[in-house]
Amino acid sequence: MLRTYLQIGAYHSTPRYLNLGGFLDFACSCYSGQVSSLDELGAYFQFVRSEKYLEDGDSRDQFARRLVREDLNAIECQLKDLSQDTLSLYMQPKQHIFEVSEVARCSLQRWLPDYTIPQIHFVDKLPAPFDNQQHHAMNIDHGDFVNYGIEPGVYFLNSKLRPVYSAYLYLHELGHVILGRRSPEELAFGLEEGICELLGAFFLAFQCFSPSTVRNLFLLNRHFGSNSRHWEYYRHNTRVLAPLLARYGWQFVFFVLRGGRAKLKQIEDAVYSGNWTIPELDETNLSDDVGKVLSSLLADNDTYVLSARAFYVARFVTPGITLRELATVCAIGEDDVREALDELSQAFSLVTMRTDGTVVTYSDCHRLIKLTGIVRYVI
């Protein structure tokens, strides 16, 4: 259960690491004890704070080990803040899915009065012809019923149920449910993933989780494993819609959902041709929650990604500091500092060095590292 507890805590703590799967693997592999209760989880966190935790590490991963320790401390604090009821709900993904399903129904019926909750299926294998796919969750609509005889609804693979994450994915699937009911004969494609993210990962998620948890879920959702290229399809199609969301607000999302996949394809044709005007909608001021969506979309990037070593050192870099001073303040060797500074200057010009390489002449590290969740390290 260690991984389950840590995953719940991770969604409540701003991620400094890029990839949640890698972080959890690392955090679990450094401990040989059993964790099947909150007391045993306390013993795990105590171990992480001990000197032995650092000593056990290979010198190559000493920086990741230090950063992971700090992130685990933050996760421990977040877990302590969760009520017993919330924690036990999160430990039961099926129950959690039913709970968010009801919250979503109340919210959606205000915008789409004909909305009803879809069937929810928990299966060991997805129905054919999707049975060799490994999706955590997928929506089967009426078109699939006509073509393959599969009962419509949202399907979850039992083996892939995860705390918090499964309920969050369910909210995304509801976008496919709504569009599938309106346009069952058309396949989900392109911007549909973006609309489902805006609806599920933000609009509905804001009603089920705190704004900071929504942001963490979004940032980690598409960076769970190493296959970021696959998820870039989802992330790209969400970003494409950002200008329309900023201009028209949430009514834009429901305008598309009411219009079905045909409307979505019209919008796709329009925006890729440079037309960002929807004559049927009035422009609105940017609301706080739309602003939060936009800043999460900006934070969700592969640009500001550093090695653990460069991330570790970046936090101590200030203009005018010498290489030797940095080595002292970071408590590491000068060679590691030099390589970290090389990365920071080459990756995206975060620092400049005096020509002899011994003094930092300019640095943006302090400012950028303080922007939560923007710069992240890879494990």
**Least separation in angstroms between CB 252 and Zn ion:** 18
Q: How far is the CB of 137 from Zn ion (least distance, A)?
A: 9
The Cα 251–Cα 188 span in angstroms is 21
Looking at beta carbons only, is 196 or 365 nearer to Zn ion? 196
Binding track, positions 169-208, relative to Zn ion; x by CB under 5 A: ------------------------x--x------------
Output the smallest distance, CB 212 to Zn ion, in A: 24
Token pair listed for 181: 């009911």
Strand-pairing partners, residue 17, are 377
Q: Closest separation between CB of residue 352 and Zn ion, Å?
A: 43
Instruction: Name the residue nearer to Zn ion (CB basis): 293 or 327.
Output: 293
Tell me the number of residues near Zn ion by CB under 5 A: 2
Residues 6+ apart with CB under 8 A from 1: 35, 36, 37, 41
What gap in Å lies between CA 287 and CA 200, rounded to an integer?
18
| Alpha helix positions (H), the chain | 2-10, 20-29, 38-49, 51-55, 62-81, 84-90, 93-111, 142-148, 165-182, 191-196, 205-208, 211-221, 228-248, 250-272, 288-299, 308-314, 323-330, 334-348, 365-370
Residue closer to Zn ion by CB (options 196, 256) is 196
Query: In the complex with Zn ion, which residue's Cβ is closer, 196 or 278?
Result: 196
Structure letter (DSSP) for residue 128: T
Smallest separation, CB 140 to Zn ion (Å): 12
CA distance 176 to 163: 22
**Nearest Cα to Cα of residue 119 among 152, 157, 144:** 152
Closest separation between CB of residue 114 and Zn ion, Å?
Answer: 22
Q: Which CB atom, from 191 or from 341, has the smaller least distance to Zn ion?
A: 191
If you ran DSSP here, which 8-state letter would residue 119 be given? P
Who's near 132: CB < 8 A, 6+ residues apart?
none
The residues facing 153 across adjacent strands are: 140
Q: Which is nearer to Zn ion, 178 or 196 (CB)?
A: 196
Shortest-Cβ-distance residue relative to Zn ion = 196
Site for Zn ion in 77-136 (CB under 5 A): none
Q: What phi, psi does 91 have (nearest 5°)?
A: -75, -10
Q: Which is nearer to Zn ion, 66 or 222 (CB)?
A: 222
**Closest separation in Å from C-beta 206 to Zn ion:** 19
Q: What residues make contact with Zn ion under the rule CB under 5 A? A: 193, 196
